[in-house]
Amino acid sequence: MKMNKIERIQKNREVALKKLDDAMDKWGPERIKMDHAVEKSKNIFLDSYRNYKNQKISEKEFLQITDNFAQTLILEDKMTRKIRKIFKPLDAEFKNWRTGHE
What integer is the mean pLDDT of 15-22?
A: 81
Quick: pLDDT tens for 46-90.
999 999 999 999 999 999 999 999 999 999 999 999 888 887 887
Residues 6+ apart with CB under 8 A from 9: 97, 100
Say how far apart CA 8 and CA 6 lie, in whole Å.
5
What's the average model confidence in pLDDT over 22-36?
A: 90
Tell if the pTM clears 0.85, that is, is over it.
Answer: no
25 pLDDT tier (thresholds 50, 70, 90): confident
What's 56's DSSP letter?
S
| pLDDT confidence tier of residue 102, bands split at 50, 70 and 90 | very low
> Alpha-carbon distance 60 to 96, whole Å?
53
